[in-house]
Structure 1
Amino acid sequence: MFHARSRKKSKKIPAPTHPRAPRPRIKGMRPTIAAASAGIACAAVAVATAQLAAAAVAPGSAPIAAIGAAVVDAVPEPVKEFAIRTFGANDKLVLLAGIGAALAVLAAATGVVARRRLWVGYAVLALLGGAGAAAALTRPAASPWWALPSLAGAACGAVVLALLLRGRPDREAEGRAVPGRAVDRRGVLIALAGAGIAGAAGWRLGGTGDLEAARSAVDLPEPASVGPAGTGLDVDGLTPYLTPNADFYRVDTALVLPRVLPEDYRLRVFGRVANPMELTFQDLLDRDLVEREITISCVSNEVGGTLAGNARWLGVSLAELLAEAGPEPGADQVVSRSADGWTAGTPTAVCTDGRDALIAVGMNGEPLPLEHGFPVRMIVPGLYGYVSATKWLTEIELSSFADFDAYWVRRDWAAEAPIKTFSRIDTPKPLKTVPAGPTAVAGVAWAQQRGIARVEVRVDEGPWNDADLAPVIGNDTWRQWQWTWEAEPGRRKLEVRATAGDGEVQTGERVTPFPDGATGWHSVVLNAE
């Protein structure tokens, strides 16, 4: 007899529950991202408020500009040289962008921490406001009011922080309290928009529109003394004989252009003089003006560099001005000060030895451009710019080298810096491929106060060949040169050297710019085929 098997239903064993609680789903932005955005918004409001306040006080009192200027003063000389060599005229923009990026990162991190510890946000704002105020007050042209923009910005940033990080817990995580304060996301967007509007207003009010208008209204008088005009060679790729204002090199420490209106301008001549003087801009224009073509160069110019330019300058004779002031015995240094407090020290003997040292008001037939010293600057031929070419000139003090060290001299650059003999190949460019056969090699050379008597070029360290020189009008301008090279196929190296009017041959020894100017022969490597 067979018995049927009983069938038992098997029980389903429930899957074990996960020991961890389900992850909360966050609506909108995650809390950390929202907090970081709130920190950035607070910083943006602080900076924009400070910029707006600085427009009323002085553009240089804005915290980012003031801190940037302090950085420029503090960084070692090799860093300055690297920045100028790498970024050229954009070095200031790179510095300001770097400060802005660092501030944004700090602000984001502060927002994240302040979401749980609000006092940290207030502390960071207070520290940044204090740092900006301290940096502004250390600027040479500062007044006590210069601290106001940074402090006002920090205060506004603190108010916005309190509004964006509300006092209740964040309960967006499906009813579970997320540690920390809730972020007013709509408020973040409003704060960023408000910062943009305030920043734009501050930038516009503190901008250069009124200076440009004042510059356009200046009517330069005809010079009483006009120097000869030079002519250039017509070679493709060769630097023009006269450098257009827009292309003229710019090297200075001013992150924000000093604001000096012609109607407010005063030039003080004082110190160790018998007759102190104070001249307005119109007083300068009413004097007998001199127009001369003069090449100036920056001491930071590397071998083959472009930190030099030739322009037609219009101005008052510095020698005549000093003669009226009457330097006293021992006053062997002319200390010139910029509107932002920067200083240069020039030997008094150089300013009065007959060269065309000028208090310049014009450049290439028009008032000085803003970035080149409007309304007044100094030009002394034969010396590197850091001891002779003060922009935005407001003071001339007769002193002595024993009593005063100017801005760059305190940073161990040479006190007296005559320009060294320099030559450069402009064309052909390095690493360029040129056709075999006749090839134009051309460039410029300069040795102010001595002039250029000879330029030589050689190929692959072979014999030196004389180049043809452009006509010369004097010893204070650069001289263009040209040589026709019969290029042979292959990889070739061209070198150039110049001989000054006093017979000194340019040295081939490579020396960096610090502390009194670079030396060495410029060379280019290229291919001929």
Structure 2
Amino acid sequence: MEPRRRTLLAGTAGVVSAVATLGAAEAVAAFVAPASSPLLAVGSLVIDLVPGWVKDLVIALFGTNDKLVLLIVLIVLGVLVVALAFGIGVLEERRPVVGAVALALVGGVAVFAATTRADATFDWAFPSIVGTAVGIIVLRVLCSRLRTWEEASGFDQARPVAGASRAALPRRSFLILLGGTAAGALVIGVGARVASAGAVAVETIRKALKLPTAAVAAAPVPAGAELGIDGLSPIVSSNDSFYRIDTALQVPNIDPSTWSLKITGMVEQEIEIGFDELLALPLQESIITLTCVSNQVGGDLIGNALWLGYPIRELLKRAKPRAGADMVLSRSIDGFTAGTPLEVLQDEQRDCLLAVGMNGEPLPLQHGFPVRMVVPGLYGYVSATKWVVELNVTRYADARAYWTDRGWSERGPIKTESRIDVPRNGARVAAGTVAVAGVAWAQHTGVEGVQVRIDDGDWTDATLASSISDDTWVQWVHEWDAPAGDHTIAVRATDAAGKTQSETPVDVVPNGAEGWHTISVGVD
């Protein structure tokens, strides 16, 4: 057999062994726990190990497309894994057992990744262990048959005989096992992954779910809150357009009948509540703006929605936090944690909710179904935990959350900001009256005023739309008599406490960006 052909077949045997490994592991994970899949576990481990500055850069460059970028990176990693599997196959064929040992080491990494995930139990190691064992067996058998084929081919060349080739039987045996294993592993693996994901089933449950009427309805949106200017962000963001930033590689699919929330830690009475119990409580509506701390000046990682939920402070009253507690560490089912000041969640004047509804329907899966936290006035990384399953009452001195462990500040109050939506940066407009418009926000403080500056001229007051509340953004507009030429437009806001945005640019790390949003436009 030609050396090149031998290498290609051995490498293919290694790739098929890797496919068998993943297929078997996915099948076992479907029975153990979907998150115990080595694919998801290793992917999540990679996310955790990526330096914070890399994540910040990706969010800054790609915004809500960060998951697409992550998937592209994982595809690249997948190509590297295929190359590794190819090499393991070649190694096993040339040096029996050595390739199998290499595959076992790779399996060990998968076991480590799975067993170190949040909520992992000892049985989360089983998918990776079983998959690795299957892969080693397939690898050894395939390479053994390939060597038998090679030996038979050498015999045929040394002693030509009439009739059928002596190498025909081992060749057929190798190829049948190679193709059959590959096809079977793909069918089993893909089927198990689809079954374990369960997204279709959970989405069906979500669509059939009828939320109760709010005991406390949100005040109607004031007639003057929407300026009706083309290109201006609507005062209430649609569910489809609402930004999504989180650490979940796969959106958790949670059957609400199995969901529960526990309040634990420094409390006199630990509490556990199910989904039906939560819906039976007097729910309230509130329109609240949420903002991501990674939102750059002028960025779109912000949205405003009508939320339906139950006040977190009421559950905390039942749990009775003990003296000395100053933080609630909320935990998502996927392991994400956020540290929220206890005093904020207990504030009678702040609508901190365990939300079950968004804009009149159950929470979309990607926005936290069945239950998430919504806290006005704090960036999402310290408050807006999706798929929440635990509130641990503790102290900042005793516990750290996911992002605070990665260089972000502990408490994350939202800064006063403003943004120009129209005209767009780089746009060309006709000379004459041009509507310069956008949104401004100072959650839980309120926006007092917005000013616009053209080129290096004086600051001019913009017209504010009616405000829904201090917890929402507000639209604004400035009617500009635009002369021909190239111009720059800047905006700044002043909050109800009298603080005006600073011109000095500040990066998003560690507690949110600052600076004036400035655009360039051409006037014809």
Instruction: Tell me the TM-score normalised to structure 2 length.
Output: 0.90
Q: Is the 8 A contact 1:375 1:392 kept in 2?
A: yes
1:175 lines up with 2:153 in the alignment: no
One-letter amino acid of the counterpart of residue 428, structure 1: P
DSSP 3-state at the match of 1:101: helix
2: CA distance, partners of 1:106 / 1:447: 51
Counterpart in the other structure of 1:16: none
Counterpart in the other structure of 1:279: 273
Correspondent of 2:94 among 116, 119, 127: 116
Q: Is the 8 A contact 1:68 1:99 kept in 2?
A: no
2: CA distance, partners of 1:217 / 1:40: 43
Report % sequence identity: 45
1: CA distance, partners of 2:408 / 2:504: 20
Counterpart in the other structure of 1:162: 140
Q: Is the 8 A contact 1:229 1:293 kept in 2?
A: no
1:32 lines up with 2:7 in the alignment: yes
One-letter amino acid of the counterpart of residue 216, structure 1: K
Q: Is the 8 A contact 1:43 1:157 kept in 2?
A: yes
1: CA distance, partners of 2:96 / 2:455: 69
Counterpart in the other structure of 2:432: 437
Counterpart in the other structure of 2:202: 211
2: CA distance, partners of 1:485 / 1:112: 70
1:378 lines up with 2:373 in the alignment: yes
Correspondent of 2:339 among 345, 355, 360: 345
One-letter amino acid of the counterpart of residue 107, structure 2: G
1:224 lines up with 2:215 in the alignment: yes
Q: Is the 8 A contact 1:448 1:475 kept in 2?
A: yes
Structure 1 residue 237 displacement after superposition: 1.5
1: CA distance, partners of 2:153 / 2:230: 68
Q: 1:192 to 1:467 in 2, by over 3 A?
A: farther
| Farther off after superposition, 310-319 or 195-204 | 195-204
One-letter amino acid of the counterpart of residue 410, structure 1: D
Counterpart in the other structure of 1:357: 352
Q: Is the 8 A contact 1:260 1:375 kept in 2?
A: yes
| Farther off after superposition, 181-190 or 120-129 | 181-190
2: CA distance, partners of 1:187 / 1:525: 64
DSSP 3-state at the match of 1:485: strand
Q: Is the 8 A contact 2:88 2:100 kept in 1?
A: no
1: CA distance, partners of 2:9 / 2:519: 54
1:523 lines up with 2:503 in the alignment: no
Q: What is the root-mean-square deviation of aligned Cα atoms in Å?
A: 2.3
Structure 1 residue 488 displacement after superposition: 2.9
DSSP 3-state at the match of 1:492: strand
Structure 1 residue 39 displacement after superposition: 2.2
Correspondent of 1:153 among 128, 131, 141: 131
Q: Is the 8 A contact 2:291 2:302 kept in 1?
A: yes
Instruction: Tell me the TM-score normalised to structure 1 length.
Output: 0.89
Q: 1:439 to 1:133 in 2, by over 3 A?
A: same
The CA deviation string for residues 280-321 of structure 1, in whole angstroms up to 9 with x for no partner, is 111111111010000011111111211111111100011222
One-letter amino acid of the counterpart of residue 352, structure 1: Q
Correspondent of 1:193 among 159, 183, 189: 183
Q: 1:361 to 1:114 in 2, by over 3 A?
A: same
Structure 1 residue 33 displacement after superposition: 3.0
1:499 lines up with 2:494 in the alignment: yes
The CA deviation string for residues 461-505 of structure 1, in whole angstroms up to 9 with x for no partner, is 322222222211210011122223333333322222111111110
One-letter amino acid of the counterpart of residue 105, structure 2: L
2: CA distance, partners of 1:281 / 1:504: 42
Structure 1 residue 70 displacement after superposition: 1.3
Structure 1 residue 25 displacement after superposition: 7.4
One-letter amino acid of the counterpart of residue 128, structure 1: V
Q: Is the 8 A contact 2:264 2:393 kept in 1?
A: yes
The CA deviation string for residues 75-123 of structure 1, in whole angstroms up to 9 with x for no partner, is 2111111122233332442343233222122122222333312323212
Q: 1:227 to 1:38 in 2, by over 3 A?
A: same
Counterparts of residues 79-158 of structure 1 (less than 5 Å): 79-87=54-62, 88-89=64-65, 90=67, 91-158=69-136
The CA deviation string for residues 45-81 of structure 1, in whole angstroms up to 9 with x for no partner, is 2122222222222221111211121122222111111
Correspondent of 1:51 among 26, 39, 48: 26
Q: Is the 8 A contact 2:92 2:140 kept in 1?
A: no
Q: Is the 8 A contact 2:468 2:474 kept in 1?
A: no
1:487 lines up with 2:482 in the alignment: yes
Structure 1 residue 186 displacement after superposition: 4.8
| Farther off after superposition, 248-257 or 167-176 | 167-176
Q: 1:267 to 1:34 in 2, by over 3 A?
A: same
Counterpart in the other structure of 1:14: none
DSSP 3-state at the match of 1:65: helix
One-letter amino acid of the counterpart of residue 394, structure 2: S
Q: 1:185 to 1:438 in 2, by over 3 A?
A: farther
Counterpart in the other structure of 2:395: 400
Counterpart in the other structure of 1:316: 310
DSSP 3-state at the match of 1:263: helix
1: CA distance, partners of 2:177 / 2:465: 67
Larger helix proportion of the pair? 2
Structure 1 stretches lacking a partner, 5+ long: 1-23
2: CA distance, partners of 1:156 / 1:528: 68
Counterpart in the other structure of 2:416: 421
Q: 1:485 to 1:163 in 2, by over 3 A?
A: farther
2: CA distance, partners of 1:325 / 1:399: 13
The CA deviation string for residues 15-49 of structure 1, in whole angstroms up to 9 with x for no partner, is xxxxxxxxx979xx833333333322222221222
Counterpart in the other structure of 1:235: 229
Structure 1 residue 359 displacement after superposition: 0.9
Structure 1 residue 133 displacement after superposition: 0.9
2: CA distance, partners of 1:75 / 1:25: 43
Structure 1 residue 352 displacement after superposition: 1.7
2: CA distance, partners of 1:266 / 1:216: 20
Q: 1:192 to 1:485 in 2, by over 3 A?
A: farther
The CA deviation string for residues 191-217 of structure 1, in whole angstroms up to 9 with x for no partner, is 332232122201210121222122223
1: CA distance, partners of 2:333 / 2:110: 21
Q: Is the 8 A contact 1:59 1:256 kept in 2?
A: no
One-letter amino acid of the counterpart of residue 460, structure 1: D
Counterpart in the other structure of 2:251: 257
Q: Is the 8 A contact 1:433 1:528 kept in 2?
A: yes
Structure 1 residue 405 displacement after superposition: 1.5
Counterpart in the other structure of 1:465: 460
Q: 1:236 to 1:145 in 2, by over 3 A?
A: same
The CA deviation string for residues 301-346 of structure 1, in whole angstroms up to 9 with x for no partner, is 1112111111111000112221222222111112211112322111
1:75 lines up with 2:50 in the alignment: yes
Structure 1 residue 398 displacement after superposition: 1.5
Aligned length: 502
Structure 1 residue 454 displacement after superposition: 1.4
